[in-house]
Amino acid sequence: MTTPAPTSRLAVDAADDNTVTVTAHRCDTYRIHLAQGLVADGLSDHLSALASQLNAPEIIVVIDTGAAEHHLGAITAAVVHAGLQLRVVPVRAGESSKSPEGWAKLIGALHRHGTTRRTLLLGVGGGMVCDLVTATAATYMRGVPYALVPTTVLAQVDAAIGGKGGIDYGGAKNLIGTFHHPAGVYIDPSLTSTLPHRHIRAGLAEVIKVALITDPRLLATLERTGNPLPDGQVLTEIVRDAIAAKLMLLAPDPFEQKDLRRLLNLGHCIGHPYEAATGYRILHGEAVAVGTAVAAAHTYLIGESELEDRDRILNLLAAYQLPVTIPEQMRDAVWDGMDTVRRVRNGPLHLVLPHRPGHCTVTDDMDRPAFDKALNDLAARS
Ligand SMILES: NC(=O)c1ccc[n+]([C@@H]2O[C@H](COP(=O)([O-])OP(=O)(O)OC[C@H]3O[C@@H](n4cnc5c(N)ncnc54)[C@H](O)[C@@H]3O)[C@@H](O)[C@H]2O)c1
């Protein structure tokens, strides 16, 4: 099965001799394929169909060095079996590759390999590679096609979904970036079996987030499956439900043009500055867990949630051994970093408040005493 090609159209309306209204319409359609064992059985056929639809005789695999250690062989076998020419560009593991330098290095490699607009890029790795490849595919030659094989839980449930590319700059997460939808996304949850447990837990923090916003049933599944960590068919179902929940939340505003008060930001207003303040030593999902916990503590303290709902959130994060507070000595740095989030959101923080499963709202801002009070409350619990 092939993905329909993107369609676009320009509508030109001459209001009078001096004014013309130009409207550019663009419609991107892509398929997300999800199955246990998809890389070994199915990826080759999907790539062959996609490459033939794009008229692309060659695939450049852009792969995270950590993912390459375990999965490069299977990925290259799928590309070769599809009868496509193959080149491999490794990207050094770690958030520091999601930087202007990392972007320029990748652009340089594509240029050296003679990449054209008929070359298909295949990003293979976690959220770092998904964001970097999306941003690079959007900008190289003003846009080349790309597909993704996400290899971390976090990338499978979140970073590979939605077409958001980003690069960190000046200590701020994703300050440079754009939307550029992939031509296909191929998700094989069995790839995550080679991840350290800490990374699986961090990925599941994003699932907890999306379940808190939209899906109490998924939240209940997570409460049943914390120990041991989910794998196999259970993990596949969790990934499927998390993707469905994310797509539902993206649907009204896929390019984030209308509404800056987005529920999907739960845990991120505080999580992003915390992640940056640690120099990316903590994982993205861990930072989101901390941001969610602080938001849950604040929601209770301002009388907008019940104690049992707050505790349900904190207990679930604890069951997945996720961090829930910010060390005292980092509070000032995180608070300062929250100013960048306010700037990006044109003034207010737009903090997402989790009231109870399936019900979150957005409050404009949080002052410093309230921030400290929530953190003190969390510290007192631990
Ligand atoms: N675009 C979006 O919508 C979106 C959403 C959420 C997060 N993100 C971004 O995602 C990034 C975090 O992603 P992440 O948590 O996946 O981190 P990551 O991409 O840095 O990967 C984490 C580690 O896992 C290793 N790895 C990857 N796959 C592996 C595998 N199968 N087996 C063993 N090791 C493997 C990598 O080498 C790396 O060391 C952040 O930059 C964050 O901003 C983007």
33-47 per-position pLDDT tens digit: 999 999 999 999 999
| Ligand 1 pocket list (CB less than 6 A) | 64, 66-67, 70-71, 93, 95, 98, 125-131, 151-152, 154-155, 158-159, 162, 164, 166, 173, 191-192, 194-195, 199, 202, 283-285
The class that CATH gives domain 197-242+256-381 is mainly alpha
Which residue ranges make up each domain of the chain? 30-194, 197-242+256-381
pLDDT at residue 345, rounded to an integer:
79
Rounded distance from Cα 303 to ligand 1 centre (Å):
36
pLDDT at residue 343, rounded to an integer:
84
pLDDT at residue 257, rounded to an integer:
85
pLDDT at residue 116, rounded to an integer:
94
Structure tokens at 95: 């958030």
The protein residue with its alpha carbon nearest to ligand 1, atom 10, reads 127
pLDDT at residue 3, rounded to an integer:
58
Q: Are 84 and 48 in contact (CB under 8 A)?
A: yes
The identity of residue 288, as a single letter, is V
Q: What is the pLDDT of residues 309-363, one digit of tens each?
A: 999 999 999 999 999 999 999 999 999 999 888 887 788 999 999 999 999 999 9
DSSP bridge partners of 172: 169
pLDDT at residue 160, rounded to an integer:
98
- Give me the count of residues in the chain: 382
Ligand 1 test: best mutation among 154, 180, 235, 286, most atoms within 8 Å of CB? 154
Q: Which of 92, 97, 107 is nearest to 139 (CA)?
A: 107
Peptide bond into 254 cis (omega under 30): no
The protein residue with its alpha carbon nearest to ligand 1, atom 35, reads 67
Ligand 1 test: best mutation among 284, 292, 344, most atoms within 8 Å of CB? 284
Topology given in CATH for the domain delimited by 30-194: Rossmann fold (3.40.50)
Q: Are 245 and 114 in contact (CB under 8 A)?
A: no
Q: Determine the atom of ligand 1 nearest the C-alpha atom of 206.
A: 6
Rounded distance from Cα 241 to ligand 1 centre (Å):
20
**CA pair distance 346, 340, nearest whole angstrom:** 10
Q: Determine the atom of ligand 1 nearest the C-alpha atom of 65.
A: 37
Residue 6 DSSP class = P
Rounded distance from Cα 86 to ligand 1 centre (Å):
24
Rounded distance from Cα 55 to ligand 1 centre (Å):
30
Peptide bond into 230 cis (omega under 30): no
pLDDT at residue 172, rounded to an integer:
83
Structure tokens at 316: 């679930």
* Half-sphere exposure of residue 311: CA atoms within 13 angstroms, side-chain side: 4
Q: Determine the atom of ligand 1 nearest the C-alpha atom of 203.
A: 15
Query: Along the chain (382 residues), what's the average pLDDT of each consecutive run of 10 residues?
Result: 71 92 93 98 98 95 98 98 97 97 98 95 98 98 97 98 95 91 98 97 97 95 91 96 96 85 92 93 96 98 97 96 95 93 85 96 93 96 80
pLDDT at residue 100, rounded to an integer:
98
The protein residue with its alpha carbon nearest to ligand 1, atom 3, reads 159
